[in-house]
Amino acid sequence: MNIKEIKINNYGKLKNKEINLEKNINIIYGENESGKSTLLNYIKNIFYGISKNKNGKEISDYEKYKPWIGEEFSGRIKYELNNGEEYEIFRDFNKKNPKVLNGNLEDISKDFNIDKKDGSQFFYEQTGIDENMYLSTIMTEQQEVVLDGQEQNVLVQKLANIMGTGEDSTSYKKVLDRLNKKQIEEVGTSRTQDRPINLVNIKFKNNEFDKKDILAELESKTINKEGKNNLQQKLLNEEIKNRAIREINFLAKNCELELEKNNLKNNIKKENEEKINKLNNNKNELLKNNSQINLEKEKINKLNNKKNKIFLLLFIILIIINIFSFLFIKNKTINYLFISLIPIFIILYILLRPKNKNIKKIDEKINSIKNEVNLINNQIKLLEEENIKKINEIENEKNNIILNINKEKEKIKNKYNNIEINKIINLINKENIEKELEYSNNKINEYKLEISKIDLEEKNILPKKEKLIKLEEEQEELQERLKELNEKNLCFNLTRELLEKAYEKMKTSVTPKFTENLSKNISIISNGKYNKVGLNDENGLMVEQENGDYLPAYRLSVGTIDQLYLSLRLSMVDDISKELMPIILDEAFAYFDTKRLENILKYLAEKSEQNQILIFTCTKREKEIFDKLNIKYNFVEL
């Protein structure tokens, strides 16, 4: 795999930056704080995504490299795999997943798996290298190999770890020691005394002895269990019967209450009947008054008729007198006198005729009484209709009450299914149901008293029984705990066995290859001063000197240890991936003198035939040596 082009829109201090890389050797030069580490971090994060977690740092990479103002936080990288396929990755670092384009610039992002936590797995699927492996091998960050003398033991341990386990942070011995320590702390062994499995076993054995003692004591004491069981059964039956009687009693009271409510509606009917009687009385009184008024009216009419007849007779006489006067009396004065009596008589008739005002008042009163009588008749009719409805309602409700009571009776019969209960149900409307309840309560108290007497006899045995039950429960818990501890112990043993097998496999298959590659690399880098490197369980990493003697790695100089560590990482590059991955070195040669640097650069020049080399440096030593050796390289200045 070769990185061909890098375009940075905005990332940390780098902005609008385009970098073209060659297939073989690339020197990326820049003074301190020029952005080399930012570029190195950009390459890693465009492949694996940027983390918003601090991961032990003061601030996360996302916060560290994100622009302060609202500028685009993105970039692109173009690379080629060993099979010639080209890809371009565009990543907006504000988003979790990048856009993946093939050589035809077709979006193939969906062709790769998406991890919920880490996002698109395109780079892992193409190379087989995850981020941790990438940082452990492909990319050697600044200070990874630049260590002072006080830290060389740490670096030697890392070397031994890689050769023993394949991970520089994982020591087989420490893992094994921690596993053994954890097993002793959390489980224990047959040789330990105060560990969980020892304590549980001791407690289990002691409980077994206590159980045997209690059982022996209980066997020597007998209790009439059968008699108590019979009493408890009788008590249970009587309590069931008691509940049934209470339900029957409740049903009887409820029935009585409902019938009382029904009788209240009869009271309403009676009240209506009383109202009807009262209204009839009022009506009769009005009719009586009406009869008296009619009699009075008849008297007045008769009197008026009599008066009218008298006036009529007098008027006729007056007319006859006037006729007679005109016929037989020739005195005009007398004639006029008699004629003048006619109007006077009419006036007197008008003045003295019977008045009809009293008759009108009487008629009005008669009409008023008639209206009142009609109103009373309507009220009586309504009350009678309401009473008819009420009678039907009362009868229906009473029938429903009786029907519901009978249903409840059947429910109680079916619920308890007892002949004696069925007999008691027939008492539902009788007063002696209270006597049945009292009798049942007395029987319950009698049974309880007899059971209490037996319980008193068991008083001395009961604590022993309780202790026995407690011991048995505790034994079950202890057995469960023993099972858990044994399973946990088995897990520890299996883990140790697998770890030992993996370590043995590592030593027999992987480590020899590492030591062979490492020996070859260190021989080239040290110009033949060190030709062979080995690893053993007793002394750790051993290096053969020129005189053939082996020396522990921790006794070597810091510079030599740096050479070893770098050599080992370089020797791993070709075995970790299906791709020939680029080798990225950031200030990796700080402790290398000129001779050592020239040797490592020669080695890297040979390595660049198959692996792309990216050297990040703040000096021009590498450039000068390549120029001196006439080795071609691509120089990028930040």
Q: Is the pLDDT of residue 107 over 80?
A: yes
Determine how many CB atoms are found less than 10 A away from the CB of residue 598: 19
Residue 95's closest CA among 78, 112, 72?
Answer: 72
Which residues neighbour 315 within 8 Å (Cβ) at sequence distance 6 or greater?
Answer: 345, 349
pLDDT at 503: 65
In whole angstroms, what is the distance from residue 2 CA to residue 81 CA?
A: 7
> For residue range 236-293, what is the model confidence (pLDDT) as tens digits?
887 877 887 777 777 777 777 777 777 766 677 677 778 788 888 887 887 787 777 7
Q: Is the pLDDT of residue 502 over 70?
A: no
Q: Where are the domains of the chain?
A: 225-425
> For residue range 503-543, what is the model confidence (pLDDT) as tens digits?
666 556 555 666 776 777 777 767 777 777 776 666 667 77
* Strand, coil or helix: 625: helix
Q: How far is CA 98 from CA 75, 113, 579, in A?
A: 10, 12, 21
Please give the structure tokens belonging to residue 182.
Answer: 């954890």
Name the burial class of residue 559, with classes exposed (0-12), middle (13-18) and buried (19+) by CB atoms within 10 angstroms of its CB: middle
Q: How far is CA 95 from CA 14, 52, 100, in A?
A: 19, 11, 14
Q: Which residues pair with 541 in a beta bridge?
A: 535
Residues in the chain: 638
User: Is the pTM higher than 0.85?
Assistant: no
Name the burial class of residue 250, with classes exposed (0-12), middle (13-18) and buried (19+) by CB atoms within 10 angstroms of its CB: exposed
Which residues neighbour 383 within 8 Å (Cβ) at sequence distance 6 or greater?
Answer: 272, 273, 275, 276, 279
Q: Do residues 67 and 81 touch, judged by C-beta distance below 8 A?
A: no
pLDDT at 297: 72
> What's the CATH class of domain 225-425?
mainly alpha
pLDDT at 574: 67
> For residue range 148-174, what is the model confidence (pLDDT) as tens digits?
444 334 444 444 455 454 554 456 677
DSSP state string for 527-548 = TTS---EEEETTTEEEEE-TTS
Mean pLDDT of the chain: 78
In whole angstroms, what is the distance from residue 534 CA to residue 542 CA?
A: 5
In whole angstroms, what is the distance from residue 255 CA to residue 149 CA?
A: 103
> For residue range 74-85, what is the model confidence (pLDDT) as tens digits?
999 999 999 999
Please give the structure tokens belonging to residue 564.
Answer: 């070893």
> For residue range 459-471, what is the model confidence (pLDDT) as tens digits?
666 677 777 788 8
Strand pairing of 25-29 and 74-80? Answer: unpaired
Q: Is the pLDDT of residue 103 over 80?
A: yes
Q: Where residue 419 falls among pLDDT bands split at 50, 70, 90?
A: low
Residue 599's closest CA among 543, 559, 633?
Answer: 559
Place of tokens 């505790």: 474
**Range 75-100 average pLDDT:** 95
